[in-house]
A and B are shown apart, each in its own frame.
Chain A
Amino acid sequence: MDYEVCRKVWESHVPCQFTLQSSGGTHGEPLPFYTMLPRFSYLALAIQKVLSSFNRRDDGEKVHSDKMWLEHNGIPLKMYIPIGVIYDQANLSENDSILEIIVRTSQPPPQFQMVDRDMMEAMFMQNIKEADYLKTKAEITKNMMKDESAQLWRSVCNIPDNFDEFWTIVQKLMETSEGNEFAHIPLRVYVKNQAFKQALITAKHPDGSLRTIGEAVSDVLSSSSSSSTDSQSEHPPRLISHGIDIPHHTPLIFAAKNLSYPDNFIHVVLLLVVP
């Protein structure tokens, strides 16, 4: 693992604007709330601070977290995927553009679900366990102390502080006993308007050569039998993670060790290139 690479991705933030749009409000709307959010965090963790800002005004109805929903460009947002992934999906990195999120108080659309802190923690822990199962058949998480898992979650809730606390535990998750290699690599591929794609992917080809992230993404997409439109594209798609274009030839094992999110998955956004 490369300490500097890991530290930089840990500290990475994106600019966000939250604007309240009530239905039927007779009073003026509060000012938008501007903030920098950690790429590694979740809207589920950020939302309370946003609503507190809106609810600071004396007039107007209070906005409650269980009676609102979040939208970007007309699409309901998933509060449980990392903020960095949401930003990459919106394709804002080239111009460091602001992520504009509308907080609506109308009836949420069926596909939106409010995610509170407890739900988020449960999902995060499930990701950690699954990532470790893929890599080591759960050898590391099985032997982890309960307080170590709690420590990992606490460090994610306190980004950008606590990097060294995070680093201590994540190094443990990135090692294997007796120098064995990871059985599989935890990788999630995000295609527009679909659930993330995932499949069993090894770090090496049968001939022992390193699998690249470009090959891994292709394997994931073909195993989930995506539409042929994707594979027929003239240009190879852009692979965006942490706001950067990941070169297709990057060894998958390097990405796993240095570019994983705290849940230990590589989260890659696929952006089709339009000529």
Chain B
Amino acid sequence: MLTEQQFRDEIRGFVDKMNENNFHWQLKEIGKYARETHLKTLSDGRVITSETHILYNSTYQVPTIWFNFFENNGSPLPFRTVIRDVLNISETEESEASIRSRISHYEHPFMGVLYYNIHPCNTSNIMKELNTDRSYLMSWFSVYGQQIGLKLPDRVL
């Protein structure tokens, strides 16, 4: 479990640490969440924009990943494209219904529009298995960031 104040303290450190390693994160809404955006080329050559936010969830008292991918005309990618072509989860690996039970659209608490989020309901249990002595948020991101293709820099591990 992470208090909101601990989250605020750690997210600042997280952003600094990532930027020291040439990732481009920024604090938003006076430090209430962190944002990262970059261009990504799909296997079919299409270039899309990736948008990722890390917010605190007050119900579950854990960090939460919110993300979306956009065509160059600004349209968000549909669910099937996101899971099959961007996140590269094959049909044999996991069905659409199973993915929806852990990743789905939800209203972004600050933006008021639909973003994908990784459901936070199991985060607390997963975090109990991890060593969070150095940084709860870094440990959390090492698990949840990689679910959407984001990594910690090697030097942080």
Residues of A within 8 A of B (CB): 66, 78, 80-81, 110-111, 113, 115, 118-119, 121-123, 125-126, 129-130, 133-134, 138, 184, 194-196, 198-200
CB distance from A143 to the nearest CB of B (A): 14
Please tell me which one of the listed residues A123, A184, A198 contacts residue B105 in the complex, with CB atoms under 8 A apart: A123
CB distance from A55 to the nearest CB of B (A): 21
- How many chain B residues touch A (CB < 8 A): the figure is 23
17 interchain pairs, CB-CB under 8 A = A80-B105, A80-B107, A110-B113, A113-B76, A113-B113, A118-B100, A122-B101, A123-B105, A129-B119, A130-B60, A134-B59, A184-B59, A195-B108, A195-B110, A196-B107, A200-B58, A200-B59
The answer to whether A115 touches B114, judged by C-beta atoms less than 8 angstroms apart, is: yes
Number of A-B contacts (CB under 8 A): 59
Contacts of A194 in B (CB 8 A): 112
Q: What string of 1s and 0s marks CB contacts (under 8 Å) between B57-73 and chain A?
A: 01110000000000000
CB distance from A60 to the nearest CB of B (A): 25
Q: Which 9 A-B pairs have the closest CB atoms?
A: A195-B112, A122-B104, A113-B114, A122-B100, A111-B113, A119-B105, A129-B121, A195-B109, A130-B59
CB distance from B118 to the nearest CB of A (A): 11
Contacts of B119 in A (CB 8 A): 126, 129
B144 within 8 Å of A (CB atoms): no
Contacts of A123 in B (CB 8 A): 104-106
How many Å lie between the Cα of A196 and that of B105 in the bound state? 15
The answer to whether A111 touches B105, judged by C-beta atoms less than 8 angstroms apart, is: no
CB distance from B70 to the nearest CB of A (A): 9
How many Å lie between the Cα of A133 and that of B121 in the bound state? 8
